Homo-oligomer: A and B are copies of this chain.
Amino acid sequence: MNILLIEDDKRISDFVLKGLQENGFNVHLSDNGVNAREHILSSEWDIILMDIMLPDIDGVELVKLIRYKKKNTPIIMLSALGDPEDKVNALDSGADDYLVKPFHFKELISRINALVRRTKLNYDKEQNIHQCGDITINTDEHKVLVNNKTIDLSPREYKLLLFLVENKNKVMPRTQILNNVWGINYDNNTNVVDVYISYLRNKMNLTSATLQTIVGTGYMLKDS
């Protein structure tokens, strides 16, 4: 799960970052509003944790911007301000939750889980998502992500990748790949599969540990 943490106070961000990572979350840190905005608009996050007081942009304004841009990413505000007015203000601007510092770390984890659970209820039903390690394929949108970055693939590359993800952790012989991705049922001495595997490894920066070569047989995509 990918979390964007927006926090300028290094003591706090160190603490939160470490704690989240220990709990198995994949966290990216932004320490200012401008940088955060870039990351929000260019990538897909499961959830955003945002300090309300940032050096350059007001957190509430940032939330409004995100919602204005039709981004529905879940947002939890973190703030030293415990005043009801501040809470109301943040929640009404589009944030989903508001947590007053200092907070207990366990509570943060539980609130993250609660919110993500609620969000996924809406989305996962409707979208067809395939995963394998860092790789995410959204077949509805025909979209491929590696570490939250969109990768452009040609139709054939896409079809091959999808086939490998659908059969992750299984060795796929060349013949079977040719059969399923190219529709070729006979052995015609081609090396297209090798070539396209190479394309994928390049475009997606896949190590040979992730997209393994099984010598004499074919290939296998490993789920970390």
Q: Using Cβ atoms and an 8 Å threshold, which residues of chain B touch A104? A: 84, 87-88
Residue of A96, A114, A216 most packed against chain B (CB within 10 A) = A114
How distant is the Cα of A91 from the Cα of B220 in the complex, in angstroms?
Answer: 33
A3 to chain B, nearest CB (A): 17
In the assembly, what is the distance between CA of A110 and CA of B60, in Å? 14
Interface set of A (CB-CB < 8 Å, partner B): 69-72, 74, 84-85, 87-88, 91-92, 94-97, 104, 106-107, 109-111, 113-115, 117-119, 121-123, 126, 133, 140-142, 154-155, 169-171, 214-217, 220, 223-224
Taking the nearest CB of chain B, how far is it from the CB of A49, in angstroms? 16
Q: Could you say how many copies of this chain the assembly holds?
A: 2
Instruction: Please give, as numbers and ranges, the residues of chain B lying within 8 Å of A85 by CB-CB distance.
Output: 106
Q: Which residues of B contact A121 (CB under 8 A)?
A: 72, 119, 122
Contact status A141-B170, CB under 8 Å: yes
Contact A224 B69 (CB under 8 A): yes
Once the chains are docked, how many angstroms separate the CA of A71 from the CA of B222?
Answer: 12
A133 to B104, CA, bound (A): 39
Contact A96 B70 (CB under 8 A): no
Inter-chain contacts of A109 with B (CB < 8 A): 88
Beyond known contacts A88-B107, A91-B113, A115-B118: 16 more, CB 8 A cutoff: A70-B223, A84-B104, A84-B107, A88-B104, A88-B109, A91-B110, A91-B114, A92-B110, A92-B113, A118-B118, A119-B122, A140-B169, A141-B169, A141-B171, A141-B220, A155-B216
Q: What are the residues of chain B within 8 A of A72 when measuring CB–CB?
A: 121
Compute how far the CA of A161 lies from the CA of B81 in the bound complex, rounded to whole angstroms: 46
In the bound complex, residues from chain B placing their C-beta under 8 Å from that of A110 are 87-88, 91-92
**Subset of 15 A-B contacts with CB under 8 Å:** A70-B223, A72-B121, A74-B118, A85-B106, A88-B104, A88-B106, A88-B107, A96-B114, A96-B115, A97-B114, A118-B118, A141-B220, A142-B214, A142-B220, A155-B216
